[in-house]
């Protein structure tokens, strides 16, 4: 079975060798003894916290490798894919942006193939749209050429086209050159996750929706998970109201934007905090549903951590514009101007928040201005699609990117795991986590199973 390579810094994290973190983890008292199963408690072979695509992919792999094992997925919302997975642009990425030979490049390329295979097997519709990365000036053209060379090293099916060919293929797009990438597609990741949940249940697993984790305690023999019903309702909702205790021999936590809090709940001394970045989208007026035949992306700015505002075809036939990237003031606040007092208090006390805010001050001011001033946002698109007007931009739900930030203000750009003898916390699963979810889930599950 494959394991996380210990010599690969892109997958490094505290305690990756199975040792406890500095400061340790919270442990049950020796007097408590082993867990017993009663009407209010249950012992599982595996528990997975988080019903996003990475958590579900991990659960599928665990059950595939250990048929007959007992497994529970715990999700506080009334549906799977309720947060980051269900609020992204639905792109099946090809892996063009990632360093050749890196795990992000390999996982993305494999994930794109396996996402399509999963959809084919289960009758989930998707579209192989392809993507054009468009340069609009000489500086962007130079960066585009470097990106093209990286794509060749990554063995992607790409083509470099000039201004005339770009205009022939996409009459409504303006640029001086572009990269045509054939292996990009689109899918509804919420539909993928619903099917994953069904696969887990057919394999004997349990999906518990509307179930919030309130405490995690690790002992020598198991992990105790205290939960309570959130009255989420639905077919998979918690069977009982009020508090309940579950036990698991092994726990995997895929908590997304709540990853730091769940790790701290388990007694792990973390050196990062999750900071939400709002990705705000617009949807083009339906009269523009045929404005492009493929996805249109700008050439990414290497000084920015995001890919820029792009035109994305959607599975429902529409076209979205976005996202921008503004710092959020609520971890799960999707409406504009959402603010959560507890989240804000955490930010104020965390030194990394102030450091990243200072380092990204200029960019942040521009992004915030564009968030408030629709013509400013529009100009990001008019660089390559000049005929659009502000009237063409209609409301579309926002997304939230869960970004791990260290105390020194640096963003965690790759995977970050905290590992103890009976717990594995996935603390940062960066883009393209949705595309790469199945191979990421394999790696996580294989790490857990390697413990014997």
Is the model's pLDDT at 71 over the cut of 90? yes
- How far from 261 is each of 14, 56, 376, 404, CA to CA, in Å? 16, 20, 36, 12
Residues 258, 261, 266, 272: is their CA dihedral positive or negative?
positive
pLDDT at 207: 98
pLDDT at 242: 65
Convert the pLDDT of each residue in 168-207 to its tens digit: 999 999 999 999 999 999 999 999 999 999 999 999 999 9
**Is the model more confident about 367 or about 163?**
163
Taking a C-beta distance cutoff of 8 angstroms, is the pair 93, 84 a contact?
Answer: no
User: Which CATH code for domain 2-31+41-84+190-271+412-449?
Assistant: 3.50.50.60
Burial classification of residue 176, based on how many CB atoms lie within 10 Å of its CB (0-12 exposed, 13-18 middle, 19 or more buried): middle
Q: Which residues of 165-175 are buried (b: 16+ CB within 10 A; e: fewer)?
A: ebeebbebbbb
Whole-number mean pLDDT of the chain? 86
pTM: 0.87
| Mean pLDDT in residue range 249-274 | 95
Convert the pLDDT of each residue in 409-443 to its tens digit: 888 888 889 999 999 999 988 778 999 999 999 99
Is the model's pLDDT at 233 over the cut of 60? no
101 CB-near residues (< 8 Å, 6+ apart):
none
Residue 340 pairs with which residues in a beta bridge? none
Is the model's pLDDT at 368 over the cut of 80? no
| Mean pLDDT in residue range 34-41 | 44
Report domain extents, the chain: 2-31+41-84+190-271+412-449, 127-185+278-406
pLDDT at 214: 97
Convert the pLDDT of each residue in 14-30 to its tens digit: 333 333 333 345 654 33
**Is the model more confident about 119 or about 303?**
119
> Of the ranges 50-59, 88-97, 128-137, 217-226, which one carries the lowest mean pLDDT score?
88-97
Rounded Cα distance between 218 and 225, Å, is 9
| Mean pLDDT in residue range 100-117 | 92
Q: Any idea which fold 127-185+278-406 has?
A: D-Amino Acid Oxidase; Chain A, domain 2 (3.30.9)
pLDDT at 374: 86
**Is the model more confident about 389 or about 41?**
389
pLDDT-based confidence at residue 231 (cuts at 50, 70, 90): low
pLDDT at 18: 32
pLDDT at 22: 38
């Amino acid at each position: 079975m494959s394991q996380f390579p210990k010599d690969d810094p892109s997958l490094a994290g505290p305690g990756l060798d199975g040792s406890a973190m500095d400061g340790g983890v919270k442990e049950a008292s020796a007097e408590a003894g082993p867990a017993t199963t009663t009407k209010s408690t249950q012992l599982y072979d595996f528990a997975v916290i988080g019903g996003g695509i990475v958590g579900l992919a991990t659960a599928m792999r665990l059950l595939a490798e250990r048929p007959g094992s007992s497994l529970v997925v715990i999700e506080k919302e009334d549906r799977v894919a309720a947060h980051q997975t269900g609020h992204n642009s639905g792109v099946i990425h090809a892996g063009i942006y990632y360093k050749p030979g890196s795990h992000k490049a390999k996982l993305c390329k494999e994930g794109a193939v396996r996402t399509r295979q999963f959809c084919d097997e289960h009758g989930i519709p998707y579209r192989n749209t392809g993507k054009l990365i468009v340069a609009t000036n000489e500086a962007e053209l130079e960066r585009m050429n470097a990106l093209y060379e990286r794509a060749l090293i990554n063995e992607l099916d790409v083509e470099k086209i000039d201004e005339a060919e770009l205009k022939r293929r996409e009459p409504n797009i303006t640029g001086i050159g572009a990269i045509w990438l054939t292996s990009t597609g689109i899918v509804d990741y919420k539909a993928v996750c619903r099917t994953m949940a069904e696969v887990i249940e057919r394999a004997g697993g349990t999906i518990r929706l509307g179930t919030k984790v309130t405490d995690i305690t690790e002992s020598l023999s198991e992990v105790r998970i205290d939960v309570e019903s959130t009255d989420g309702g639905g077919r998979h909702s918690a069977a009982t109201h009020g508090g309940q205790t579950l036990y698991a021999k092994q726990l995997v936590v895929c908590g997304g934007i709540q990853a730091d809090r769940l790790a701290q709940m388990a007694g792990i001394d973390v050196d990062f905090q999750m900071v939400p970045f709002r990705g705000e989208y617009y949807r083009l007026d339906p009269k523009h549903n045929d404005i492009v035949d493929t996805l249109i992306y700008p050439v990414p700015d290497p000084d920015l951590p995001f890919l820029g505002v792009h035109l994305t075809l959607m599975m429902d036939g529409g076209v979205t514009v976005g996202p921008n990237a503004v710092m959020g003031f609520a971890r799960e606040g999707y409406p504009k101007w959402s603010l959560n007092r507890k989240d804000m208090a955490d930010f104020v006390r965390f030194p990394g928040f102030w450091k990243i805010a200072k380092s990204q001050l200029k960019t942040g001011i521009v992004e915030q201005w564009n968030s408030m001033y629709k013509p400013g946002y529009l100009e990001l698109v008019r660089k390559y699609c000049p005929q659009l007007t502000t009237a063409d931009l209609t409301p579309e739900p926002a997304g939230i990117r869960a970004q791990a930030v260290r105390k020194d203000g640096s963003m965690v750009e790759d995977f970050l795991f905290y590992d103890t003898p009976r717990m594995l916390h996935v603390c940062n699963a960066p883009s393209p986590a949705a595309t790469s979810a199945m191979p990421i889930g394999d790696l996580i599950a294989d790490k857990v199973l390697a413990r014997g």
